[in-house]
Each structure stands twice: as C-alpha cells, then as structure tokens.
Amino acid sequence: MTTLVIDIPILETQRLVLRGPCREDGQLYADFFDAQTGDGYFYGGPLRPDQANVRLAADIGHWQMNGFGKFVMIERDSQKPLGGCGIVHWNGWPSHELTWWLLGTERGKGYASEAARAVLEYARDTLGWARVETHVRDTNAAALRLVERLGGKKLRRDAFPDGHSRDVFGFELTAVGEPV
C-alpha cells in the first residue's frame, strides 16, 4: 500500500501565518459554521459541530489528495485563529477555486485580502500556475468586492453541483506575484 503524506507549507505575511488545517482547528470550524453567527452561510452553513468537523476533515484530506488546499489563517501577534484561505478543487466542481472565510468578528480588517495575495503567490511560485479562479454567488457582496480589489476578471458563469450558478473570475498571475 502506498501512503502519501503531503508536507503543507507555512505562508507568512505581515500580519498573518497561514498553516495547514489540523485536528485542533475543530473549534474554529464549529464557531464559523454555528447557526447563531450565520458566518458560514455562503459555505454551506449553518452546520452542527459534528458536521463542521467533517468539513475540517475534508479540508485536511484535500491536501493529501490534491497537493494543495486551504490554509488556516492565524493572526501573527496574538496567535488567534481568524478563518481560512486557500485553493480547492472538489470532485464534480468545474475548476479549482481560490476560497477564503473569516469569523464574522474578523471581517473588514483586510485579512482576507492579505491571505488571498499570499495564496495567489503560492499558486504561482510553488504550484506553477499562471491563473487561479474563484467562484462567487451573486448575493455575496463582500466576496465580489474582494475579487475586484484583487483584480479578478469575469471568465464565465457555471452551474455548480450544489444547485447554485456562480460567476467564475480569474486572476492572471504575473512574474512578481501580484494578480493583474
């Protein structure tokens, strides 16, 4: 039997450390998907804590199956977990996707932009990709604003296995690591 263990890199920015998800992130996922906060609405929530744990396990497994995935976002100084950001490609979905999520208390502070830029650089420098895509539901105004700030260009509209149609945006990666 062949066992593949992926070494998940650690990305660092001015304010953030992005590291692979692990078992200890269960509370972060439970908090994000909690029905009381509504934070996880655009990510299939709300979810019960046991369901949020399955999502965490899927994020851990994605790295092992694909060699890339979501990072957990940690605030560098306080070591406080803030959310997640990375690139996923779930079976049955039309393409890979830059994705990000933050606890509601951490939104509006520029963390998602900072993390997304680091992940785009990782995609270019480590994965060797020239383009990264993201999928955004029409009603997710915050995500649409972030896509615009990052320089995303609409490529197409796709139907997704969850029954939603979404615009698909692309980020062309330049030699210096900034999306165009």
What secondary structure, in 3-state letters, does 20-73 show? CCCHHHHHHHHHHHCCCCCCCHHHCCCCCHHHHHHHHHHHHHHHHHHCCCEEEE
pLDDT of residue 1: 63
Domain with 97 in it: what CATH number?
3.40.630.30
| Residue 71: exposure state from Cβ atoms within 10 A (0-12, 13-18, ≥19) | buried
pLDDT of residue 85: 98
pLDDT tens column, 159-173:
989 888 999 999 999
Query: What's the rounded mean pLDDT across residues 101-113?
Result: 96
The pTM of this model reads: 0.91
- Within-domain flag for 121: yes
> How many residues make up the chain in this entry?
180
- Within-domain flag for 107: yes
Residues 92-109: b if buried by 16+ CB within 10 A, e if exposed: eeeebbbbbbbbeebeee
Q: Yes or no: say if 21 and 59 are a contact pair by the CB < 8 Å rule.
A: yes
> Domain total for the chain?
1
Domain region containing 157: 11-172
- Within-domain flag for 4: no
pLDDT tens column, 130-140:
999 999 999 99
